[in-house]
Amino acid sequence: MGGQQSGGIVKKSPLGCILAHWKEIGGQPGGSVNKKTLIKYCDQWWPLYKLEDGEKWPLNGTLKYNTLLQLMLFLRREGKWDEVVYADMFFTLRNHPEWQKECGINLAPQDPMVLAIEKERNKQNRILKRCCSGHPERVAKGFELIVKTQDPDWEDVDAMLDAVFSESEKQMVVRAARTQVQALVLAGTLPGTVELPISAGTLTRWEPGIY
């Protein structure tokens, strides 16, 4: 039938859409992930898992935020790290409404908390564009190079921020960075916790896994 791929996979479903955009989501052939394993996890294993908050994984997958979150939390608690990579594909699809539209599936319903974080992240990004207006790209590339080559600790980062930015600009950078990390932690793609509120002065007291 036109609405199904082989094996009963519905084309107009999250699983079908991921398979249709495998090059963008799963990577090139010969990589560490493959379609058969994704299908096995999605339609055979995950529906059997007992997720918290009354959630249950459906056949052909879902883009419902809380179901994705509970699945990701379950996989991490159980140490099923090989499955985490495949579960994250649904988060990736969720973040690309243009792919969802191409596949003809309903756009992912937006969780109020996620919307609030994304709104704040966009706001901070707009503020950062006004920050260091003389050479913003040069400053950003300089910081990226230092982090990659020198492996600075948080005290070093704090000192660099003091040297390059005014106090107000430094606060903008810190708030924007924390907002970005908070979104990743909430999505389950980055381990650790986010302590709020934060000031630039707390950079030197940060610990691994606490952003």
Ordered by where they begin, the domains of the chain are 6-103 (1.10.150), 112-205 (no CATH)
Alpha-carbon gap, residue 166 to 160, rounded angstroms: 11
pTM across the whole model: 0.52
How many helices, marked H, and strands, marked E, lie in the chain? 10, 0
* Count of C-beta atoms within a 10 Å radius of residue 135: 10
pLDDT score recorded for residue 202: 45
Q: Tell the burial category of 70 from Cβ atoms under 10 Å away from its Cβ (0-12, 13-18, 19+).
A: buried
Looking at the DSSP assignment, which residues form a beta bridge with residue 193? 210
Place of tokens 């309903």: 106
Q: What is the pLDDT of residue 185?
A: 73
**What are 144-197's pLDDT values in tens digits?**
777 677 777 777 777 777 766 667 677 777 777 777 777 777 766 667 665 544
Summarize pLDDT for 95-139 with one digit per residue, the tens.
898 999 999 987 655 566 656 666 666 666 565 555 555 556 666
